[in-house]
Structure 1
């Protein structure tokens, strides 16, 4: 096949939005779009604004390898075809008619640099595939060494304990992994251009950091990632040196898909333990609140394409091979295993269990055969070589011991088998045995059930086309009056550690590590009555036929998003309002200088002092700044904290004219006064006698938790406890207290690793309202207010400030500011407590240079 040379679309021009070329150069236009519409290949169209508006939305599948086969290769003679057995290729058929499927990934072979442009244009036009060229060296480091020898074992629960083993983490290989993901990101920049209304679906563990790299280019793109492998428990995954980078990168997607709830549960546990993130449920969906975005966790069991497998029984090769196998195993009971030569497939466990069946049940010698098909390892290495030597020796031992004329106990097939032979093998198996010690979905059991159904239909004369899509009748699945053959039956022995296990309710599930349990499961399976096997088969057939490879996509809210951080371990997508911005220091200082009456409302922990420090006592620099502010009689300064009033008095005893509000404002003391007031002088505290014993029980049963007894509140802290257990205990405690105290004038409030019980209506927002109300009543309404806080309790202050800003009685310049770049009701942010101190210091420094001026232009900070 010849195709003309043409320079491929320039990446930099595309990234800058300069499309230049035709639609076919950017988004394909080959037969795939016509495939969905049922027409012929579309014509090439210039990408002007009208064509962009008219074009179909695209679902862009991103995978390590494109679902293509190479039929011929060489300079000027490349030839490709779809690999219809690849799940990703089958996925395109489930899309709506108005959505196009586009593929981005590597080719199964390397292409010379001189041919890459031509191959790219050809694949783009004919298949809507966009190849990624990594180069042999990078591909070897990224795929063969890091993905297969380090990431793959980790995801399958293998911790590299050997200090010289290839499974040990290698920083250089990690860098190669990130570089390869960046190449994929650059290719997506080409494919997407300046458009962000397509959906990008990233597949598998080869591209775990791609969501972050993609988000840095396209903030609003709808992005999902699906993991086709297991996800290990947090105890395993936390050993990975780049765990946070991977977790945060995955959370930059909108949807994260897993095969089973177990794998999703492990991911949620990692989010809780390593990142301090909690999840919630909403109408059946699992959501993680990640910087103001709801990241959806989906349970997405994949399936097969039954129609293609059933069609194999119309092929002469399948029928010929099936005939050979039926003759070879006539009068035998056939066990079947088809696996890669991989340490996680449990091939040696299967062989050992089979040997034990023949040892303990002599009546099955000469009658029971195990056909074990193995294909080459995807990740060859020393451990795979040792496994291969062990199983070959084991096969030889079993055959030498139990071989008889016309009987070979283990039929060892060590080569890849084409689809026709695979279906023929499965159709003659009385039982398929899957003994993987850890696996993703593993679709072999579904294929086996379909093969048995297809063979029964073909033998019965109806052919595969006669198989009823709903499962057929109990006589073998035939429709249309064909003579009913013997009831279709099948049997499965499945490891409980594979993803398909929960969906196979009729299979015998087993722990493959127990040779005795596996032996007994095989023995039970081959002795089941025919009617029992037929009933189990019918149940599995109905599920297998409906378990096609589905797409789980959804629309996402178009929030304004900003990228924060540059490294993989800091970059995250944050959902923020469009007016959220850095505190404008110059504007703040000018407004302060021309104002007459000012109010400062400052949180303590996390604002004046860093959050979580062992000693939260403010340093001398903070005290000097506060003293500088309070020295001006035009300034009213309050520190509003959740701490006890005795602590605040101890911290700030040296600062004159400083107002204090303790325990979130239940107690407060105005500037210049030594007397404390309360928000509710009539508050009762007899409820403490009920609450304290309950908290004590949870403290004793939750290691690392403790109780803080304030004057007005009781707080149970669990931030030092196990994150999962602490969160679990907190939810139970919350339900318990709300039930016990339903008739008491108090409220139970969950917080950041705390459960607090306090009188109703107590909040920092009420302190703000009281301070500003008193100023208004005294005729000294402020025309400048600076309010700074950092946590959930401070949001009440920001809400009160927002309400005050629209009051016609207080013509005030309002600067409400949160500490840290995160979703907040405040319109401004500063980065950390050090920046808070620096801002307040600048205000003190301009005191003498900027005389007060009560007349100021009204500055609205809340939109």
Structure 2
């Protein structure tokens, strides 16, 4: 039976061993991923593979087998151990010294060491080897987070038909940040082994796509990246929480008791709550400074408001985190020393984790939740706080650089570096009318109650299945061996054949300058052989000018359509010009193109007799995408009442007479004769008119994996060469 296999750095359970009896016991881990997916995993039909949290030096042989047996039986988990050396170099090293700071926009804190990178690769390979025996046909493999970014490609290489998803629980940085990573291409290729990549926000998706385009050269169209013959989807899945668990928590005796204790402790004072693990990305020092500034500016709140600062220990062995803890303690002490009194402590600092019951009780009672993360992938604390507020009161102050802000836009948003802004937000929150609180919170709560963690997990898996179905539909259109064999057989049986061949991107690859893309000897041999075989008619149908095509194929008896059909040269005849309207429109269009050329480095204008083409192949991709949209808007406003059209080609935008296209040109050949074998091929939008006019019996082929009216796809122009060589009997 097909199953879901979750793969993460740590298992969702903490392993305990009785030092006297040696027996193992398990407790559920607390944290975003563990808490989020455990509720779905516990429903059954899944397996979870991950590091046990133990070291090889401590558990080996029969103990390791016994641990695996118990975890498989009781928790459906597959554990394995890491050596202390691998743990240090992989997790404490590359993961937390290179990836974590870089992806959170702290490049000055990132350190790159080759031995740590080698450990990262080695441990990803170890994860694969542990996972491999459990992969069966039909399984869905869902890999999680930044520790395992190489794993999807490792799975893909050995299980090419596997259904692989990946979710990143931290931010994905902009290209300008990502390019600083020395092993950026390897990481990106590792991620591209996935069928579906999930991120918390659209910004992260946009950054990933930009890096894939710039670093790997992959094209992006209609939501899919084209990686060879594979289509990869990147999409937004903001992670939810177990909403009911927090919303109904006050019905349990343990939470009722904890809540009563919290009320007694607070003694009617206004309460601000802050909950984080120890990390420099969380903005904890800035939070304390802002609260101190608030107290400086608002003495009326002295002895009336308190900040409960909860910091869960994290990476305690790392000196950088020890220094951060020291700074936090000093700031707390200074604030309490300056503002406190015998009966009032402004900041209550807790350096420990709280139980679900105690934390939920604080959520239920705190007037404000203060989240000032400098950068955060999501921040589920904000959602938990809202869910626990059964009466819809309370105020959420949320950093605009936390992923959750995209769902919780009704909160009081702050810039985490603006201490005065945070202090002002605290003042605003404490004064906010209860009805305003309820109005804002009810909107946010409805949103997070619908998109809870179960919905998040099922939405991802459902989307992964949709992507797989789409990939299969596209694969069915690939020129696989069976299709190619039938095509060759049909060609052998035919008595009269015609070939419509686009040029740039189809017969030859693209070059930075169009004049460099001349046919090589192999291509000329192929086309010549096709022309000489049984009286075939071979038509090169291109956006090129007549002089270019004549120069390229001098001495080869082809027929030609140039300028997307503006000029036609049929067998035994001279060039014939299509009946076109005046080209006076160029005078109004050229200045617009020149303006955008000036503003877009790398772009240039190619003037043809009946068209103007704006090329942007050499431009920076994101700027080009922006300029193309702007240019289209500018041109449409000018040509809407003219018989002028826009052709959106491969890295080129062409303005030409709207009554001329490749389909109309091809009709000149199809109208006069009947062919029992028709072959039509092209690579961009301008070829869709050609595919539209050829009959259903034709072999229409799109070069590349983008959406098309063509019946089949090939990977690229080199793949097409292989097909043409077989048709020309040169293979």
Normalised by the length of structure 1, the TM-score is 0.71
8 A Cα contact 1:67 1:83, kept in partner: yes
Correspondent of 2:24 among 78, 82, 87: 78
> What is the CA deviation profile of residues 524-544 of structure 1, one whole-angstrom value per residue up to 9, with x for unaligned ones?
223335555555555555555
Aligned to 1:393: 330
**Native 8 Å contact 1:201 1:223 kept in 2:** yes
After TM superposition, give the deviation of residue 683 of structure 1 in Å.
4.9
Is 1:669 the counterpart of 2:565? The answer is no
SS of the aligned residue for 2:466 comes to: coil
Partner of 2:172: 231
SS at match of 1:108: strand
Q: Quote how far apart the aligned CAs of 1:171 are.
A: 4.0
Deviations 1:639-683 (A, max 9, x none): 443222233344455x3655444223432335676x3123x3355
Distance 1:289 1:121 in 2: 42
Among 601, 605, 615, which residue is 1:707 paired with? 605
Task: Quote the residue 1:173 is aligned against.
Answer: 116
Residues of 1 paired with 2:471 and 2:144: CA distance?
A: 24
1:646-657 matched pairs, under 5 angstroms: 646-653=547-554, 655=555, 657=557
Per-residue deviation at 1:169?
A: 3.0
Residue 331 of structure 1 deviates from its aligned partner by 5.2
Aligned with residue 402 of structure 1, among 327, 333, 339 = 339
- 1:796-835 to structure 2, matched below 5 A, reads 825=710
Aligned partners of 1:691, 1:363: CA distance in 2, in Å?
66
Which residue number corresponds to residue 13 of structure 1?
none
SS in 1 for 2:272: strand
User: Residues 85 and 209 (structure 1 numbering): CA distance in 2 closer, same or farther, change over 3 Å?
Assistant: closer
1:142 to 68, 79, 90: 90
Q: Is 2:272–2:368's contact at 8 Å kept on the other side of the alignment?
A: yes
Q: Is the 8 A contact 2:145 2:169 kept in 1?
A: yes
Aligned residues: 715
**Residues of 2 paired with 1:259 and 1:543: CA distance?**
15
Distance in 1 between residues matched to 2:69 and 2:92, nearest whole Å = 28
How far apart, CA to CA, are the structure 2 residues paired with 1:388 and 1:267?
33
Larger CA deviation: 361-370 vs 622-631: 622-631
Alpha-carbon distance in structure 2 between the residues aligned to 1:151 and 1:802:
53
User: Contact between 2:259 and 2:364, CA under 8 Å: does it hold in 1?
Assistant: yes
Matches within 5 A, 1:193-592: 193=136, 195-196=137-138, 198-274=139-215, 275=217, 277-280=219-222, 291=229, 293=231, 295=233, 297-307=235-245, 310-311=248-249, 314-315=252-253, 325-330=262-267, 332-378=269-315, 381-451=318-388, 453=389, 477=391, 489-529=393-433, 532-533=436-437, 536=440, 545-546=449-450, 548-549=452-453, 550=455, 551=457, 552=459, 553-554=461-462, 555-556=465-466, 575-577=475-477, 579-581=479-481
Give the match for residue 46 of structure 2.
101
User: Shift in Å at residue 229 of structure 1?
Assistant: 1.4
Q: Which has the larger radius of gyration?
A: 1
Alpha-carbon distance between aligned partners in 1 of 2:408 and 2:704, rounded to the nearest angstrom: 49
Counterpart for residue 7 of structure 2: 62
Cα distance change, pair 785–830 in 1 and its aligned pair in 2 (3 A): farther
Deviations 1:60-109 (A, max 9, x none): 33222221132435786222244476654554645898x72332222232
Deviations 1:128-168 (A, max 9, x none): 222244444334333222222211112211224xxxx6x23
Unaligned runs of 5+ in 2: none
* Local SS of the residue matching 1:253: coil
Deviates more, 1:741-750 or 1:764-773: 764-773
**Equivalent in the alignment of 1:849:** none
Question: Structure 1 residues 845, 424: CA separation in 2 closer, same or farther (over 3 Å shift)?
Answer: closer
Given that residues 165 and 195 in structure 2 are in contact (C-alpha distance below 8 angstroms), is that contact kept between their aligned partners in structure 1? yes
The offset of 1:311, in angstroms, is 3.6
- Is residue 610–residue 616 contact of structure 1 (8 Å, CA) maintained in 2? no
Question: Residue in 2 aligned with 1:860?
Answer: none
Counterparts of 2:112 and 2:484, CA distance in 1:
45
Q: 1:184 aligns with which of 127, 130, 137?
A: 127
CA shift for structure 1 position 826:
7.5
Preserved CA contact (<8 Å) 1:605 1:616: no
State the shift of 1:513 in Å.
Answer: 0.3
Gaps (5+ residues) in structure 1?
Answer: 1-51, 281-285, 454-470, 472-476, 478-487, 563-572, 806-813, 847-863
1:379 Cα offset (Å): 7.9
> Alpha-carbon deviation of 1:497?
1.4
Q: Find the aligned partners of 2:509 and 2:5 in 1 and give their Cα distance.
A: 44
Q: Is the 8 A contact 2:306 2:347 kept in 1?
A: yes
| Matches of 1:537 and 1:643, distance apart in 2 | 61
Separation of aligned partners in 1, 2:494 and 2:365: 90
Deviations 1:246-277 (A, max 9, x none): 44544443433222333333334444554453
1:27 aligns with none
- Is the alpha carbon distance of 1:146 and 1:327 closer, same or farther for their aligned partners in structure 2, counting shifts above 3 Å? same
8 Å CA contact 1:559–1:577 kept in 2: the answer is no
Match of 2:546 in 1: 645
